[in-house]
Amino acid sequence: MFGNIFKKEETVEETPNQWIKCPKCTSLMYYKEVEAKQNVCPKCNHHFRISAEKRIVCIVDEDSFVEYDHTLAPVDPLKFTDKKSYKKRIEEAKAKTGKTSSVMSGACTIGGHEIEIVVFDFSFMGGSLGSVEGEKIVRSITRAIEKECGFIIVSASGGARMQESTYSLLQMSKTSAALNRLHHKGLPFISILTDPTMGGVSASFAMLGDIIMAEPGALIGFAGQRVIKQTVGVDLPEGFQRSEFLLEHGLIDMIVDRREMRETLTGLFKLFKKDKKVVIEEVPEVVSEKSLEEAPEEAPEVVQEELKA
Ligand SMILES: [Zn+2]
């Protein structure tokens, strides 16, 4: 069903103006020029937000993506209404994006490696995590376990979908539990954080990656800056919720330019692909040969030498 994302066709949301202004360097550029660079600003490297379809084209092997579970649609168990009813909000989001969920999930290959992937689309209700999104993630993980392949989530989300209340919060534990099953099978999960990754998404699966990578300049956090400042009453350091700050402070593992994402993922999955059995057999041998027999004899000598000196 989904081979056609690789062909250049106008999508519903992208009827762009001819010109686009970069929010970071304020340069005015021809839209097609930016689009040709995978929606990265050629002047300042700002990574524009992109749709799930474009994201998939960026990182998976050409024509390899097969979408699953695209018919799943949210229900409104709480009959929730704020300024508008939840039902109405879903209808509007569907009309705007042509989707029924803020994630696309499916199977693909990346650099020839078989991968299950889930990609968030911020344009559908702020990429919020509801019961449909949680279910799609869990089904995708289950397929990865069945196929014994790697798993990726590309997050772009404001957090849990408040209109689903506890049903949306439950998705945090549901997805985390499924990732735990994946972990126990020794299968890799790479979490890719894009602008923005906030709230319940960052507080669950997004931070559970074996490797957590982020795009440059992405906003990543739990609560927003204003809320934190009001709560703790302290001025916060500049850019404290951006990828670069988080890398410096050890919360994420790497920052990867969108244009190098596929290559980086290919390299990582190649490392993970190394026969797991070999690794497990090698470890005990190394321990018994060296550290247990030779080490105790060497250690006192070193100490004596130091004392003489
Ligand atoms: Zn720019």
Kindly report, residue by residue over 51-103, the tens digit of the pLDDT: 999 999 999 999 999 999 999 999 999 999 999 999 999 999 999 999 999 99
Q: How far is the CA of 41 from the centre of ligand 1 (A)?
A: 5
Looking at residue 273, its pLDDT comes to 84
Residue 290 within any structural domain of the chain:
no
CA distance 143 to 99: 22
Q: Are 220 and 198 in contact (CB under 8 A)?
A: yes
Q: Which residues, other chains included, contact 184 with Cβ-Cβ below 8 Å and sequence gap of 6+?
A: none
Kindly report, residue by residue over 113-153, the tens digit of the pLDDT: 999 999 999 999 999 999 999 999 999 999 999 999 999 99
Mean pLDDT of the chain: 88
SS (H, E, C) 77-110: CCCCECCCEHHHHHHHHHHHHCCCCCEEEEEEEE
Residue 209 within any structural domain of the chain:
yes
SS (H, E, C) 275-291: CHHHHHHHHHHHHHHHH
Residue 84 within any structural domain of the chain:
yes
Angle among Cα 125, 130, 219 to the nearest 5 degrees reads 55
β-strand 150-157 against 189-197: which pairing, if any?
A: parallel
AA identity, residue 226: R
Q: How far is the CA of 215 from the centre of ligand 1 (A)?
A: 15
Q: How far is the CA of 305 from the centre of ligand 1 (A)?
A: 60
Kindly report, residue by residue over 101-116, the tens digit of the pLDDT: 999 999 999 999 999 9
Q: How far is the CA of 50 from the centre of ligand 1 (A)?
A: 15
Q: How far is the CA of 30 from the centre of ligand 1 (A)?
A: 12
Angle among Cα 190, 196, 197 to the nearest 5 degrees reads 45
Our count of domains for the chain comes to 1
Residue 110 within any structural domain of the chain:
yes
Residue 80 within any structural domain of the chain:
yes
Q: How far is the CA of 33 from the centre of ligand 1 (A)?
A: 12
Looking at residue 296, its pLDDT comes to 45
Mean pLDDT of 232-246: 95
Residue 33 within any structural domain of the chain:
no
Q: How far is the CA of 27 from the centre of ligand 1 (A)?
A: 6
Residue 59 within any structural domain of the chain:
yes
Q: Where are the beta strands (DSSP E) in 31-77?
A: 66-68
Q: How far is the CA of 154 from the centre of ligand 1 (A)?
A: 23
> Which residue segment(s) compose the domain that 218 sits in?
49-274
Q: How far is the CA of 217 from the centre of ligand 1 (A)?
A: 12
Kindly report, residue by residue over 155-195, the tens digit of the pLDDT: 999 999 999 999 999 999 999 999 999 999 999 999 999 99
Q: How far is the CA of 296 from the centre of ligand 1 (A)?
A: 59
Residue 101, judged by CB atoms within 10 A of its CB (0-12, 13-18, 19+), counts as: buried
Residue 127: give its domain's CATH number: 3.90.226.10
Number of H helices, E strands in the chain: 11, 9
Angle among Cα 40, 43, 44 to the nearest 5 degrees reads 70
Residue 1 within any structural domain of the chain:
no
Q: How far is the CA of 19 from the centre of ligand 1 (A)?
A: 13
